Structure 1
Amino acid sequence: MIKKGIRRQIVLHYFIVVFSALLLAEVIFLLAIRTYYYDSIYSHIKNHIDNVEDYYYQRINPGLDGNRDLASMLTYYDLNSANVQILDTQGNVLINSSEFQPDMSVKTADISQALSGNVGRWVGRQASTGENVMAVSKLEQSSGQDGYIVRYVTSLETVNDKLFNLTMLATGVGAAVLAIVLVFSMGLANSIVQPLNTITAVSAEMARGKFNQRIKGDYKYELGELASTLNYMAQEIVRSNQVKDDFISSISHELRTPLTSIKGWSETINSGGYDPEETRIGMEIITKETERLIGLVEEILDFSKLQQNEMKIAIGRVDIKELLQEIMLNLWTKAESRQIELRLKSEDRPLVAGDANRLKQVFLNLVDNAIKFSHEHSAIDLVVYFEGDNVVTEVRDTGIGISEDHLVKVRDRFFQVDPLNGGTGLGLAISQQLVELHKGILLIQSTLGEGTTIVVSLPRLPENTAQTDGAPELPPADEKLS
């Protein structure tokens, strides 16, 4: 007995379908053969009656006179392998070609059919002998006579024996076909179940945290896709875990450095001496490192909110040109320290509907990254232009660029192109999601060694809205965009 499972279901379904089809086909076949044999016997007797009628009544046309004429009629109607009877219209046997003479009148269906003018037919078991027979009867009328019923009775035992043999042969063929189907269905079931068992076993190992396990085997179709998907999932989990470990290591370093500075200067100040200049420098460093810690924590909190769809943005009218000018002022000192020139080229009044603080966070991160990865004595271009119903902003640098391998991962959370430069690896991931919250698109184009261009496309406010003095009709503040 096959235990419950997919294998059993496949075998059972195939078996039931083929068995039902075979049973229906064999029943139809055997009924057709039986009908063919019985109709052949009936047609043979009926044709014999028609031929005798043509000869006996049209050419001889005797006047029946007692038993001598009945005997003559019986002789003409005689047929090999069939018993011929001459009956009156009451069903009484007047003369019989066999030695056996029935004592009672015949009341079978063929008699009533013959009396109604048809060639009657009846198949059944003969009461006196218990034998399966077919009776064919027809009413024959002579001029001036009441008429007689000519009845043929032939045994069906030989035909039934042949039909039984055909039935047994068909049953044997059906059993052989079912056996072959059973073998093939079990093979098919095994070809599906065995890979599934392998996949299940490896998946169980993955569930226990063994993500180095892989599903081996060249599986086809859906099973192959399932195996590839699970292998890819394990690979991505391993990569995510590695990225997470790198992030923990990086963030630990990022937190430790400012905390060490804060602790060192705090101890220095507390140690006494109170040199005004030294104290001032120490307090500035403590303030700077504290702000750096706050920035790191806020970046992590922002990412957490975005991941949980809890980030809310206050919608208003934002002039991208003014926003970029403010960012250039904020980053001017950092760019000047590396002799990097910030250049802005913009259309007039590039207005979008958005959260000014969040959009400033996006572009501040993009320009800061451009400065961080640009060569000294280079330039960064900020270009703003209209494209259809969108305001497009490009941040172009001629820095180190990004390789093709890193380009597909650079927007992943915690990923850092150069871990030595510091940071959490969340800035670009957060920028991507903030742009999407504003119904915009962020694209990255880069060539290693030649520079990077980041394109941000945001929906532009309608022209009539942009030219009005009042506020545009925008969603209410703090509404979360999705």
Structure 2
Amino acid sequence: MRLNYFYQQMLAFFAVVTIVLIILGFSFLQFARNTAYQNTETQLFGYAEALIDEDLQMEKLENGQVILKNQGVSIFVFDSTDSMIYPSTTEKYISGISDQDFKKLKNGEPISLTQRNTDFFGNQINTAIVYQPFFTQSTGEFYGFIAVSAPISTIEANLKDIRNNLFSAFIFSIVGATIASYLFAKFQVKRINRIRSATHRVSKGDFNVHLENKEMDEFDDLAADFNSMVDSLKNSQEEIERQENRRRQFMADAAHEMRTPLTTINGLLEGLEHDMIPENQKQRSIQLMQNETRRLIRLVNENLDYEKIRSNQITLQKQTFDAHEALEMIVEQLKGKARDSGNELILDCPTELVVYADYDRFSQIIVNIIQNAIQFTTNGEISIIGYYGENESIIKIKDSGIGMTAEEIKNIWERYYKADISRKNTKYGESGLGLAIVQQLVNLHGASVEVESLPGEGTTFTLSFPLDLNEIG
């Protein structure tokens, strides 16, 4: 069955948007449900602790119950024998909790939010309850526990409102997605027809065809390739090869510069997803992802014009910043790669060390050198050392890897050069562009880089960045 490309694009875009909306909707509902119950638990425990702090005075209990009654919250107090002592009743009531939970209470452990389909008087009502033990102040003996409950109907009512609002938003989103799908498909087909028309003219022998290229996406890449093809047909096979080499070079440069930020963000997201990052490190991980995202956006914007780097035409946003913090973040993002090769990253840098450089490009320089060290080091150490020189900040990166000969040191700044060809396809250094980019960026900073290495003894890169004398003065 033939299906026009216009409808293929429209259906594909609509399907993607719909699936994303459904996934986000279910995720949000689950999150909202968990949050609602967690907030309820925190709130009920707060009530219980406040009453215990007031020594469970009868007057305080009565006042608290009156205040919380409008919220549907009920307060119950039980003694050490599990008998209800508040509210006062003519009959004896117990909590009905298990022996295991009662033992936890006697040991001072509160019982988190649990659900019951009856209250303590046997009435049929779905409630959420927390239990908080309390002890005598004089002897510290277990005296009983307080139970604070709230009707689940209140929680579910709030969740129902959220579901209704989300459903309304989903309907509006579907309508919007349909309109957007139509416009998107129409725009894409129009661009394809433009290329199709040009191809038809070439097939008729008209080689004076040139497609506009705004360098926006793959269609513009296609237009650029089409133009290159026409030029090659007009000029020679040599022109064809030259254009292909330039395209491959561009793709290699772009992939090399963008790989590290994307790998870092993906690793941190997986760590957060699988709860592998400690709670006290999550904020730092988020900050690292934000920094890498901002860096990636800027690199993508500049990567399309990579030739400017070689011709000293890029603009550096130089500033004085905390070198220790920058190096610490780089070590954090690369330690997983180092660990995969059995290596250990060691940071030896005073916290007061600062560097005057473009932050993103400085990070790119350090990352490229460390990744190069990881590539050529196995089961060793890679030290990142920072200190002040004479009106300059010095960063040394020293590894215990395979090292290099004097001849290899002369060639490492050449593009695509590999000191060890057998490692060319390792996952940390495919293109051979890293050190070439390092040298160009170091020169643009007015800085210097020196290399010391012996075969079998490792390699040391020494970077010297001049300080901003105006700030020092």
TM bucket normalised to smaller: 0.3 to 0.5
What TM-score does the superposition give when structure 2 sets the normalisation length?
0.35
Larger Rg, first or second structure (1 or 2):
1
What TM-score does the superposition give when structure 1 sets the normalisation length?
0.35
